[in-house]
């Protein structure tokens, strides 16, 4: 349940505190549909969460910059990128 007194940062930090840190490894269907046929280039992901989409892109050869409002999400995304072996193709600044 969303507490209306929470700021967006508080909402998303508590959301990720309650989640497993691990990426499910499944990119969004719309991303796959529109990007799968494109040649790899640069991508900026706004709101990367645990990194599912960013890591999928990086594994396909994209140079990804992923940002998120939540520091917890970025910690998880960075660890997931490391685990996947794609960290050198992604960078994780914190917020926009």
Ligand X SMILES: C[S@@+](CC[C@H](N)C(=O)[O-])C[C@H]1O[C@@H](n2cnc3c(N)ncnc32)[C@H](O)[C@@H]1O
- x/- map, 9-48, ligand X, by CB under 6 A: ---x---------------x-----------------xxx
- Contact assessment for residue 32 and residue 52, using Cβ atoms and an 8 Å cutoff: no
Distance from C-alpha of 15 to C-alpha of 72, rounded to nearest angstrom: 9
Nearer to ligand X, 48 or 89 (CB): 48
Distance from C-alpha of 9 to C-alpha of 70, rounded to nearest angstrom: 6
Q: How far is the CB of 41 from ligand X (least distance, A)?
A: 19
Instruction: Give the residue, chosen from 73, 81, 87, 92, that forms a contact with ligand X under the rule CB under 6 A.
Output: 73
């Amino acid at each position: 349940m969303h507490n209306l007194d929470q700021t967006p940062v508080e909402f998303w930090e508590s959301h990720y505190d309650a989640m497993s840190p691990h990426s499910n490894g499944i990119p969004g269907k719309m991303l796959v549909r529109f990007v799968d046929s494109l040649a790899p280039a640069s991508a900026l992901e706004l709101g990367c969460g645990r990194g599912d989409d960013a890591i999928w892109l990086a594994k396909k050869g994209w140079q990804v910059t992923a940002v998120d409002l939540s520091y917890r999400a970025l910690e998880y995304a960075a660890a997931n990128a490391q685990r996947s072996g794609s960290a050198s193709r992604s960078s994780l600044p914190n917020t926009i």
